[in-house]
């Protein structure tokens, strides 16, 4: 809880991953990959409940063993490649309200494939959000800074010619004059439940929580897994 606001941590872990088979429960530094996200959530000073939403029995068992709450299996309709994560979030909120009469004020989405995200990152993001927000509808998304050359990013138009993606006309094309650009890193999302009920984490009122590139690894393929493991072992050393 933060300032009397109840926070639900939602860890969404579908089965049937295609890029890296069973990636959510692959052994990572001696534990299933999902373990590291569960533990970082459980150790938070502000999170009231750590939920793992999954359609897979094997993932559910691993999550429970790590200490997460897995009171239901996610319905298949919310676990397809086309399903939106917001639909799974709303399903969980409805389940708690119907079966336990429990309601939450904020929902924190944590991907189970980001083992370099720590409890400190989570708590700092929550503190940052409540300090920086300007309205009750603000959301937060973690990002990492894009390379400075992103300012010169170009795309091919229908005409076949290329042009700049950003308006740089009249600007001096020097590094010092290019604004900062950011990429979502997939590690932390935070929003009021009332916003998720009708929308998503992204809006015109989304606050960026900037994280270092060295921890911004969201595992999708084997190369991501190997890089994250190398960084993780280096951090432990």
Cβ proximity of 174 and 213 under 8 Å = no
Cβ proximity of 49 and 23 under 8 Å = no
- Residues 15, 84 within the same domain: yes
- Residues 169, 187 within the same domain: no
- Residues 63, 174 within the same domain: no
- 191-215 pLDDT, tens digit each: 999 999 999 999 999 999 999 999 9
- Residues 174, 71 within the same domain: no
Residue 187 sits in a domain whose CATH number is 3.90.550.10
- Residues 55, 170 within the same domain: no
- Residues 105, 116 within the same domain: yes
Domain carrying residue 164? 147-180
- 55-111 pLDDT, tens digit each: 999 999 999 999 999 999 998 888 887 888 999 999 999 999 999 999 999 999 999
- Residues 12, 61 within the same domain: yes
Could you give the number of structural domains in the chain? Answer: 2
- Residues 22, 112 within the same domain: yes
Is residue 137 assigned to a domain?
yes
Is residue 1 assigned to a domain?
no
- Residues 172, 73 within the same domain: no
pLDDT reading at 185 higher than 70: yes
- Residues 110, 18 within the same domain: yes
- 213-236 pLDDT, tens digit each: 999 999 999 999 999 999 999 876
Confidence grade of residue 177 (pLDDT, cut at 50, 70, 90):
low
CA neighbor of 196 nearest in space, from 128, 70, 106, 129? 106
């Amino acid at each position: 809880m933060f300032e009397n606001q109840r926070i639900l941590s939602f860890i969404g872990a579908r089965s049937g991953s295609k890029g890296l088979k069973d990636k959510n429960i692959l052994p990572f530094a001696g534990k299933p990959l999902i373990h590291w996200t569960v533990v970082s959530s459980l150790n938070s000073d502000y999170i009231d409940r750590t939920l793992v939403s999954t359609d897979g029995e094997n993932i559910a068992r691993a999550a429970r063993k790590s200490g997460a709450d897995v009171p239901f299996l996610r319905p298949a309709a919310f676990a397809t490649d086309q399903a939106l994560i917001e639909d799974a979030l709303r399903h969980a909120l409805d389940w708690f309200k119907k079966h336990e009469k429990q309601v939450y004020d904020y929902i924190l989405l944590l991907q189970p494939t980001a083992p370099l995200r720590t409890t400190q990152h989570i708590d700092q993001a929550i503190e940052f959000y409540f300090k920086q927000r300007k309205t009750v509808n603000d959301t937060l998304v973690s990002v990492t800074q894009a390379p400075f050359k992103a300012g010169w990013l170009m795309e091919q138009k229908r005409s076949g010619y290329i042009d700049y993606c950003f308006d740089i006309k009249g600007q001096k094309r020097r590094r010092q004059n290019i604004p900062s650009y950011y990429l979502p890193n997939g590690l932390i999302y935070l929003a009021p439940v009332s916003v998720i009920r009708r929308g998503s984490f992204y809006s015109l009122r989304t606050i960026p929580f900037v994280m270092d590139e060295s921890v911004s690894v969201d595992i999708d393929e084997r190369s991501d897994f190997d890089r994250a493991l190398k960084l993780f072992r280096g951090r432990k050393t």
